[in-house]
Structure 1
Amino acid sequence: MKLKTLKPTLRTVGPAVRTMGQTWRTSGMTTTERGYGYRWQKARARFLRNNPLCVYCERAGRVELATVVDHIVPHRGNPEIFWDESRWQSLCKPCHDVTKAREERGSPTHQGIGTDGWPVDPGASTDYPPQGGPSRLRQGRGS
């Protein structure tokens, strides 16, 4: 008996699917082409030397070494904003990857935590932002 070929059940979607605009991840540009070359590496190292602690962790009452220099306001390729050190902040990698990303998406950073990084209820304990290992609890701002 001869086998029948099955007809495809999937059709192309065509223009119904919108793609995201080009981002730094999809642009194919190197870090140097995006402005993060030798000059940036030197400026970054100097900034972290002068500002060694994560500002988000400091606000939460923890001491954490910063490893990332973050542009407080996204520069979107504008060299004037990119090189303005008054618009930089030192962050640890977890704060940069989790907390900062949530802020930029406009998502709440953590229930009970204000946008300034402090608990909305000053008497509340928090282990914000999420860190690896055991939770580090802090009793309000003044403790």
Structure 2
Amino acid sequence: MPRLKTLGSRLSTQGERLTVIGPDSWRATKATAHQRGYGYKWQKAREGWLRHHPLCAYCEREGRVTEATVVDHIKAHRGDMALFWNRSNWMSLCATCHSSVKQREENAQRRGQ
């Protein structure tokens, strides 16, 4: 029976696709979600925002109607509480767009593209 080729060379190239979080990154802190601002006050604000902005902004742009479940910060606040609570920096997204399209945009910005 022939031996399978190893995937070693393919695995080593995956590192460049991964996002490395630096030690000074807001996401790298050991603070809880509540400590980062996502406590009861945020949950109430989020609920109100979604009630008034119920559709995903990215899906709407593409002509689709999708229920939004996430309130996203357009510009990453990185711990800046003034920016965190600035409602002009909020947009409604569906979970799919938040986890895919938005993440690709943020990763491209970090790479300077």
Secondary structure of 1:43's match? Answer: helix
1:88 equivalenced with 2:84 (yes/no): no
Q: CA deviation at 1:76?
A: 1.0
Unaligned 5+ residue runs, structure 1?
A: 1-18, 108-143
Structure 1 stretches of 4+ with a deviation exceeding 3 A read 22-26
Deviations 1:99-130 (A, max 9, x none): 001111117xxxxxxxxxxxxxxxxxxxxxxx
TM-score by length of 1: 0.58
How far residue 25 of structure 1 moved from its aligned partner, in angstroms, is 4.4
SS at 1:69 equivalent: strand
1:61 aligned partner = 63
RMSD: 1.9
Larger radius of gyration: 1
Q: Any stretches of 5+ residues in structure 2 without a counterpart?
A: 1-20
Q: Percent identity?
A: 54
Q: Conserved in 1, the CA contact under 8 Å of 2:56 and 2:92?
A: yes
Counterpart pick for 2:35 among 2, 11, 33 = 33
Considering fraction of residues, name the structure with more helix.
2
Give the Cα separation in 1 of the matches to 2:27 and 2:79. Answer: 14
Higher relative CO (CA 8 A, sep ≥ 6), structure 1 or 2?
2
- C-alpha distance in 1 between matches for 2:96 and 2:26: 21
Count of aligned residue pairs for this structure pair: 90
